[in-house]
Amino acid sequence: MTSSRIRRRIAAGIALALTACSSATDTLAPEERVEGQLRLLTVSTDAPPLALSIVSFYAVKGKNAGADIWYRPRAGQRDSTKFLEFRLGGATLDRRPDGSIIANGDSVRITVMVTDPAHLILQFQPSGLTFSSKDPARLRMFFNEVGDDLDHDGSVNSDDDDVERRLSIWRQEVPGLPWFKVASAVVKDQKRVDADLLGFTGYALAY
């Protein structure tokens, strides 16, 4: 075998190995935690109650839609803080839970439920509704009412900064099953975490 042919085979082997590594990286499963391992945030004991814990609305394919959930104002104050912000674009709705395609002009009734306001846990209905990967739904969860002592160890220090950096939105298909980490972005100055959603299930803000 000539030296040039050997070099070509070596190059081809390296390219194949790099392709395999890239494919493996692209298909890595999201981080998983079982019940009890996920560290949920806890709102402060003096946090005001939510103005609403359940919000429903109709989303129409081809139109923007969304919902917000706020806390009630504190005593003597007019302004309140936001708990969550949920948005859908005109092309977000994709398929119903039964797998049928949602056509332009079709509507879907969406319900957002705060199942555990103390630990920032949500449930979206209808379960199984899916969104377009080109125009995913956007969820923003706010942790203003958790306070600055995020790990609740009695002091505000660098440990809380570390918790803030590690915050993410997590999803859970059914209560009792494992939680899976959703790619998220922490917006520090607004005390919120953003994530794109491709479907409906349960969600929590945790680390």
Question: pLDDT by residue (tens digit) across 4-46?
Answer: 444 444 344 434 333 344 333 345 788 999 988 999 999 999 9
- Of 54, 50, 78, 79, nearest to 67 (Cα)? 54
Residues 55 and 103 in one domain: yes
Query: Does residue 61 contact residue 118 with C-beta atoms inside 8 Å?
Result: no
Residues 79 and 10 in one domain: no
Residues 143 and 69 in one domain: yes
Other CB atoms within 10 Å distance of the CB of residue 201: 19
Residues 78 and 38 in one domain: yes
Which element (helix H / strand E) includes 17?
helix 3-26
Q: What angle do CA 121, 86, 130 make, to 5 degrees?
A: 85
φ and ψ at 183, to 5 degrees? -55, 125
Query: How far apart, in whole angstroms, are the C-alpha atoms of residue 55 and residue 91?
Result: 22
Other CB atoms within 10 Å distance of the CB of residue 172: 19
Q: What is the domain extent for residue 19? A: 1-30
Classify the phi-psi angles of 99: left when phi > 0, otherwise alpha if psi is within -120 to 50, otherwise beta: left
pLDDT tens by residue, 96-147 = 999 999 999 999 999 999 999 999 999 999 999 999 999 999 999 999 999 9
Residues 117 and 201 in one domain: yes
Residues 165 and 130 in one domain: yes
pLDDT tens by residue, 138-177 = 999 999 999 999 988 888 999 999 999 999 999 999 889 9
Among all chains, which residue has been given the structure tokens 């042919």?
5
